[in-house]
Structure 1
Amino acid sequence: MDQERADQNFTATAVVQAGRVVVTVSGEVDMSTAETMFRTAARDDVAAATLDLHAVTFFDSAAIHALLRLAEHYPGALTVLPSPQVRRVLEISGLSTQPWLKG
């Protein structure tokens, strides 16, 4: 299990289960924390990833960029579980119909 804390309002914790990394992110994902979210999720020892963003309260363009990089890293094998705030940002940015976006 990994946990990195870029600031007081952000955590990203990873657990590997049956070839899938499950990353739980909380707090604000912005230009100071997006790379940490990406590095926590982008692993070479698994084939799939779930990004649980239910506890994310802020998501900016740097976070969107990191999310798109994860979609490239796990083609067809990424699942994103958004908070209402994240879903709204993805709707505004035109990404709400991506196959990796669930719930």
Structure 2
Amino acid sequence: MKKIILLAAFGVAGLVSANGTTSKKIERVILKKEIKAKKPLRLCGVSVVYYDSAGNIKDVKFLTSDQPTLETCQNWQRNQVAAIQQAGYSISQL
């Protein structure tokens, strides 16, 4: 998502430098509206630590996703925890 906005900004910057002042104003307004229309994404994550039967750390994984709101982030996290439980692992949340 961020890459698309970045590419659009570079594309508009190239067009703006090639066109007259009237088209510059129009394209700036269009770009501002496109940026305001899209909600910013926030990084959401879950840290998973796998232990062996002796209690030693076996593996550590960080699962991340871009989410627009806190509610969608929490839903995503709950889904990740459920998927780990369905895979047969027990969960201990800190």
User: Which TM class, normalised by the smaller chain length?
Assistant: under 0.3
Q: Which structure dedicates a bigger proportion of its chain to strand?
A: 1
- The structure that has the greater radius of gyration is 2
TM-score (norm 2): 0.26
Q: Which structure dedicates a bigger proportion of its chain to helix?
A: 2
TM-score (norm 1): 0.24
